[in-house]
Structure 1
Amino acid sequence: MPHIVVEYTPNLTDLPFDSMLAAVTRRLSESPEVEDEADLKARVICADRFRVGLADSQRGFIHVIVRILEGRSEQAKQDFSQRVADGMLEHMPTFADDMTVHLSVEVVDMHRGSYRKFKLS
């Protein structure tokens, strides 16, 4: 915990995901809610098939899901969301004038009672 999952559309080429993930994890590690930076696990997944509204092209999205153990305050969740958005925007490229891109961030509670984590060596 937290798990950071970035989903994006394949028409957004050359996104600097290494820099984006570094910025997001750095910002989240500075949160008082994160006890150990090694608990931050981030990955990027391409949505091979997608639609944005009714348009066939020139639209894309980047959606970031942050999964955290339940029990955090609404303020803490808003802080997580802002830190992630700021980290993503820090390295966001400029897109072509005819391209519309949506960036969204969602913070989702994981059920504390059923979550299991094992540290293997």
Structure 2
Amino acid sequence: MPHLTLEYTANLPIAAKELLLKINAALVASSHFQEVDIKSRALRFEDFAIGTADNGRAFVHAKLAILKGRTTEVKRALSESVLAVIQDAGAWPAGLDVQLCVEILELERETYAKAHFQS
């Protein structure tokens, strides 16, 4: 735990692996997670729609799934930390309306299962 899914539109020049590593570092810095437990992935969308415009818009949406039990303040700090990393990801293309957002999802401790082994 946690699981981070970064979704972004194909019209953004995002170096996904680099951005994921920066977000992971921010999550480690929060002191809420062990480095080895952070699992992140990125999904690039070729087909997307934002409102009713044909083009000129883009988004980055981060979903951070964490175990239930943290305070609203902690969850807010985590979302702001992830958002700050995304905002600093680089220069966004001129003339493009880019929306950045972070969503915190809670997983039930009672039903979350995990195994970890090294071979």
The TM-score normalised by the length of structure 1 is 0.90
Please give the alpha-carbon distance, in whole angstroms, between the structure 2 residues aligned to 1:71 and 1:110. Answer: 9
| Cα distance in 1, alignment partners of residues 80 and 51 from structure 2 | 25
8 Å contact 1:20–1:90 — kept in the other structure?
no
SS of 1:64's equivalent? strand
Q: Distance in 2 between matches of 1:115 and 1:47?
A: 28
1:111 aligns with 2:108: yes
Mapped pair 1:120 → 2:117: yes
Q: 2:29 is matched with which residue?
A: 30
Equivalence map 1:15-54=2 (5 Å): 15-34=14-33, 36-54=34-52
**After TM superposition, which residue ranges in structure 1, 4 or more long, deviate above 6 angstroms?**
none
Q: Hey, what does 1:9 align to over in structure 2?
A: 9
Q: After TM superposition, list the pairs within 5 Å mapping 1:76-87 onto structure 2.
A: 76-87=74-85
Percent identity, please.
31
Contact 1:81 1:107 in 2 (8 A): yes
Per-residue Cα deviation, 1:52-79 (whole angstroms, up to 9, x for no partner) = 0010111111100000000110011011
How far apart are residue 103 of structure 1 and its match? 0.6
> 3-state SS of the aligned residue for 2:86?
helix
Q: CA RMSD in A?
A: 1.2
CA distance in 2, matches of 1:110, 1:78: 16
| Cα displacement (A) at 1:7 | 0.5
Query: Are 1:71 and 2:69 an aligned pair?
Result: yes
Unaligned residue ranges in structure 2 (runs of 5+): none
Length-normalised TM-score, structure 2: 0.92
Q: How far has the Cα of 1:50 moved from its partner?
A: 1.5
How many correspondences in the alignment? Answer: 118
Q: Could you tell me which of 54, 57, 60 is aligned with 2:55?
A: 57
